Chain A
């Protein structure tokens, strides 16, 4: 009887263990996928940190206390929400004031930003003053708000690609053909990712006047010769949709002939881009004959 009882207990344990083991196997696999809430539903929360508090206190010393200023500095509000809450005129005045004040204090001392100790991670292109300018200029673009040209000219040279491109677009929007040359002067001194898109924007705007385009294109080619390979390749990457004559395309391609001799990775990048531009514009490209 005892033996039978013992066997029954063990059988029960085994069956129970098997059952439990089966249950556990039904736990989702390590590659389980559950839907995450959609990104659109998550608003960017307002950023309140010591860095931002410090920046905000510097800013508010010079700004009037107002709901519209608070709203503009609330990163969770979209352009449309701002417009609905405050009305376009109020937004325009406040936004211009914030841009001007931020630029001023950035030039003074980066609005008091305290960089981390040497050796710690530190990205000077993403400090609160620059993040704020980026947002205000993007809002100005979206809402069609005019910002004074002098401030946009200064912003085009700040070390943040998004600020540069927004400021440039705002400038371009209100530029006449005669304004393009001074804007070119500013842009030609820049390096990096935003140089190409801005040059393309300038050249495209100048195409309304054939003489202006020819002149600016020649200057652009000369400028490109002086640029580092990264800036030059990024410029080529952005050069689509620009109507070029065969001789202009060849002038552009000739900039890269010195790379052809090295035949390194930069030549491969340039060659591919030139081939794509030639195909798009129905032009011919033969590097051997261009780089004679």
Chain B
């Protein structure tokens, strides 16, 4: 009888532990603003348990690959397969570097993860960014974000990533509240993961297209024989227009003495994580944020990264994923 009781107790404890969410990813806590329970969201929501991460990873990867393909396919039509894969690798790296592949997350409401300074934009340094943030997120009869006092009774809460040091950079593409108001915040694209990725990539293209065609005008984008260095194009597209708003700062990444060298080194490290996918590496920012992948999505990601690194064009799995 004792054995039965012990077994049943163990079983009950196991089932109970399966019930609760795993611990939330604490490193996200300082950059997550809490969404009103009534706000409507479209797209995958990150939940920190193995089963949900296994579904979240492929969904996020598919959104990024499909939206990136929309911008990159013209290079494929040119017959410039390496241009295509350069852009695809860039598109995979930016949302990992910027938003850790997280746009929305859901966690248990243990009261410690709700931060009003992020929900209200109170700490945003630029007054313009703060006003834009308030307009988009906290004003009106049903604001998108919620104050902590209004979600006390909820068992779980949903959150939106709001980083940039002061909470002004929004979503998985970390788009500035100051500079991306009209076409992004005002149109509520942040409520939709696919629209956020698409808008972020459109901004990325403003830097990529000119420097890719005009690489010869940038010393930092050339190999010693004068040919294009595609890895440098990826780094320059991020350092220039995307991170600085200025095409003239494309070569910032090549200046080790630059005040922003740390940012550019950080981006390079994440680019290497994207490369690692070709060798079976994890999809995601780090151990805590490693996302699951099904075999089809992993195969497509491996094709993108290995084609970029090896100058090949094997794309059966990628085409299959894009056709879904």
Q: Which residues of A contact B (CB under 8 A)?
A: 3, 6-7, 10-11, 13-14, 17-18, 20-21, 24, 29-37, 39, 42, 44-45, 47-52, 75, 116, 119, 121-124, 126, 131, 192, 228-230, 233-234, 264-266, 268-269, 271-272
Q: Which residues of B contact A (CB under 8 A)?
A: 1, 4-5, 8-9, 11-12, 15-16, 18-19, 40-47, 52-53, 55-56, 59, 75, 77-80, 82-83, 126-128, 131-132, 135, 176, 178-179, 181-182, 186-188, 191-192, 209-210, 212-214, 216-217, 227-228, 243-246, 259-260
Partner of A50, one of B42, B127, B212: B127
Residues of A within 8 A of B227 (CB): 264
Query: How far apart are the CA atoms of A115 and B77 in the complex, in Å?
Result: 40
Q: A30-B47, A121-B179, A121-B243 are in contact. Are A272 and B212 (CB under 8 A)?
A: no
Indicate the member of A17, A31, A75 with the most B CB atoms within 10 Å. Answer: A31
Residues of A within 8 A of B176 (CB): 121
Query: How far apart are the CA atoms of A17 and B11 in the complex, in Å?
Result: 10
Partner of A21, one of B15, B186, B188, B210: B15
Check if B187 sits within 8 Å of A7, measured CB to CB: no
Q: Interface majority SS on B: helix, strand, loop or mixed?
A: helix
Q: A34-B42, A122-B244 are in contact. Are A272 and B77 (CB under 8 A)?
A: yes
Among all A-B residue pairs, the 7 with the closest Cβ atoms: A123-B245, A230-B213, A49-B131, A49-B128, A17-B15, A229-B213, A50-B127
Partner of A265, one of B5, B47, B78, B186: B78
- Provide 6 A-B residue pairs closer than 8 Å at the C-beta atoms, listed in order of the A residue: A30-B59, A39-B188, A42-B186, A47-B135, A229-B214, A269-B75
Name the residue on B nearest A161 (C-beta): B206
Residues of A within 8 A of B244 (CB): 119, 121-122
Residues of B within 8 A of A228 (CB): 213-214, 217
Check if B214 sits within 8 Å of A123, measured CB to CB: no
Check if A36 sits within 8 Å of B209, measured CB to CB: no
Check if A14 sits within 8 Å of B11, measured CB to CB: yes
Query: How far apart are the CA atoms of A11 and B11 in the complex, in Å?
Result: 10
Check if B5 sits within 8 Å of A268, measured CB to CB: no
Q: A10-B12, A30-B44 are in contact. Are A230 and B135 (CB under 8 A)?
A: no
Check if A44 sits within 8 Å of B11, measured CB to CB: no
Residues of B within 8 A of A14 (CB): 8, 11-12, 15
Check if B82 sits within 8 Å of A265, measured CB to CB: yes
Query: How far apart are the CA atoms of A87 and B149 in the complex, in Å?
Result: 48
Check if A10 sits within 8 Å of B42, measured CB to CB: no
Q: A6-B5, A192-B210 are in contact. Are A264 and B42 (CB under 8 A)?
A: no
Check if B8 sits within 8 Å of A36, measured CB to CB: no
Residues of B within 8 A of A24 (CB): 19
Check if B52 sits within 8 Å of A30, measured CB to CB: yes
Partner of B9, one of A3, A10, A119, A126: A10
Q: Nearest Cβ in chain A — how far from B77, in angstroms? A: 6
Q: Nearest Cβ in chain B — how far from A66, in angstroms? A: 24
* Supplied contacts A11-B8, A51-B127, 14 more A-B pairs, CB within 8 Å: A10-B8, A10-B9, A30-B46, A30-B47, A35-B40, A36-B191, A42-B188, A47-B135, A47-B181, A47-B186, A49-B127, A230-B214, A265-B78, A265-B212
Check if B16 sits within 8 Å of A7, measured CB to CB: no
Check if B182 sits within 8 Å of A29, measured CB to CB: no
Check if B182 sits within 8 Å of A20, measured CB to CB: no
Residues of B within 8 A of A44 (CB): 182, 186-187
Query: How far apart are the CA atoms of A271 and B243 in the complex, in Å?
Result: 33
Name the residue on B nearest A28 (C-beta): B45
Name the residue on B nearest A265 (C-beta): B80
Partner of B42, one of A6, A35, A192, A233: A35
Query: How far apart are the CA atoms of A119 and B52 in the complex, in Å?
Result: 39
Residues of B within 8 A of A234 (CB): 209
Residues of B within 8 A of A233 (CB): 213
Name the residue on B nearest A269 (C-beta): B78
Name the residue on B nearest A29 (C-beta): B55
Q: Nearest Cβ in chain B — how far from A157, in angstroms? A: 18
Query: How far apart are the CA atoms of A34 and B186 in the complex, in Å?
Result: 20
Residues of A within 8 A of B186 (CB): 42, 44-45, 47
Residues of B within 8 A of A42 (CB): 186-188
Check if A48 sits within 8 Å of B131, measured CB to CB: yes
Query: How far apart are the CA atoms of A121 and B214 in the complex, in Å?
Result: 23
Name the residue on B nearest A232 (C-beta): B213
Query: How far apart are the CA atoms of A229 and B78 in the complex, in Å?
Result: 15
